[in-house]
Each structure stands twice: as C-alpha cells, then as structure tokens.
Copies of this chain bind each other. A is one copy, B any other.
Amino acid sequence: MANRCETCAVRHRSLCGALEQKEVERLSQISRRTTIPAGKAIVAEGDKAVFVANILSGTVKLTRSLEDGRRQIVGLQFPSDFLGRPFRTHWSVQAEAVSEVELCQFDRKQFEQMITDFPTLEQRLLARVLDELDRIREWLFIVGRKTAAERVASLLVMIADREHDAGCGSSLHETVVFDLPISRSEMADCLGLTIETVSRQMSQLTAQGAIDLRNSRSVHIPDLQRLRRIGGLAVDPAAI
C-alpha cells in the first residue's frame, strides 16, 4: 500500500522535494517501505537492479571487494540520499546496511518512467549524482595521497559535516558532537588503511586534543576547523 509522503522524515531533503503535491502522489503509489537490519546486505555486486530507493533512516555503505578479503568502502549514504542506479540493469557495488536502515523503494523501471515524465525530478537526481561525483573525487584524492593521520581527520570531518548536515559553515571553531555510524573496521575500509592504523590515529588525535572520545563511537570535536587543518582540508567547508 502507498505510504503517506506528507509525513516522510526526508520529504524535502530527498529527491522528492522536487515534486509537486500531485506528482508526489503518483510517486507514493509506486513506493514501498522496507526495513533492513544492521549488518545485512541490501544488494550484492552483480545483483539485478530491480529497485532504487531513498534512504529514510540509517546508514548504508557501498563496497567493492576482492575474493581474498580486501575490501573498500566506495560510498557512505545517509538519510535522504538516493540509493541505486537508474538505467543500469545490474549493481556494480554491494550495498550493506551499517545500522538498521529504512528505505523507500521504487521499482526501477517505474522510477525511470517517472524520471522521464518529470524533468524536475531528473534534474534534481542529476544534481545529486554530480555532487556525489565531486565527493568521491575528493575521496580518491584523500585515499591516494594523504597520510594516515590526514585520512582519519578527513573522514571525521566528512562524517561530522554529513551528520548534522546543516553543515554550511556557521561559525568558525565550532564544536561538534556526534556518534560514529561506522566501526573502526569500516573506517579502515573507507580509508584504505588497517583497523590498527585507524585506531592508532584516533588515539593520536585524542592525545593532541583534536578530538575527545567518550566511548569508541562517540566523538566530540572541540574545534572543527582545527580538525580540518589536520586533515589537510580547505578551511572553508566545501559548499554542498
């Protein structure tokens, strides 16, 4: 049964924000909510692409891996992000629920039809994909050329930015507190490092006073600009 989009937590931040009341209704008719428990794969590399989805809550990781166990997280997605690949028949990455995830799924074919019918939707999707491309290029740079310390700092800043995704600048030297959605092992897989190195760098950052861990998942950043500097990031938060 169609769900009521008016009460959707990500109604305006997600793709659907592009749509008028009437259009949303049509979209809601092809949507279906699903909940995926933490740690479960949503789709595997090579799976047929039968759906696309908006993330309503939770965190999703996109990974590529080799048979020998090497693994790289190639995307982290948060509530209101779009998950999936219109106009492709198969998934090129594995998508896995990091925490429990709620999705608003659409049949891929029907969604493609919607895109074709509603240019505003397509335009918004395009803008999103382009943003994603920018972010992943930044990411490639980090993984390709930065030191372990810089990588860990950069990841923390990135997650901080996306968690309280007000993001946009506000004051310099701002304080941020948040829970890491991912484990040390997942941090390592984001950064092309090992768990041990990530852990050592977290300890190092703590020792420097750049972060403060109340427990291993709860991060307090007393001065975001400072952490940006440690990460070798532009001090001006890259405008989304």
B-binding residues in A (CB < 8 A): 62, 64, 66, 70-72, 74-75, 85-88, 92-93, 115-116, 119, 122-123, 125-127, 129-130, 132-134, 136-141, 143-146, 191-192, 232, 238
User: Considering only CB atoms, which chain B residue lies closest to A89 in the complex?
Assistant: B239
Interface contact B238-A145, CB-CB below 8 Å: no
> Chain B contacts of A115 at CB under 8 A?
123, 126
Nearest 10 pairs of A and B residues by beta carbon: A144-B192, A74-B137, A64-B141, A72-B141, A72-B144, A70-B145, A143-B144, A72-B145, A92-B134, A129-B129
Contact call B141/A87, Cβ cutoff below 8 A? no
Contact A137 B62 (CB under 8 A): yes
Interface contact A126-B134, CB-CB below 8 Å = no
Q: Is the CB of A137 within 8 A of B75?
A: yes
Contacts of A126 in B (CB 8 A): 86-87, 115, 122, 125-126, 129
Q: Do A129 and B133 have beta carbons less than 8 Å apart?
A: yes
By the criterion CB–CB under 8 Å, are A66 and B116 in contact?
A: no
With CB as the reference atom, state the residue of chain B lying closest to A191: B144
Out of B85, B138, B192, which one reaches A130, CB within 8 Å?
B85
A8 to chain B, nearest CB (A): 24
* Residues of chain B within 8 A of A140, CB atoms compared: 72, 74, 136, 139-140, 143
User: What are 8 inter-chain pairs, A to B, with CB distance below 8 A?
Assistant: A74-B137, A74-B140, A86-B130, A92-B137, A133-B136, A140-B140, A143-B144, A145-B192
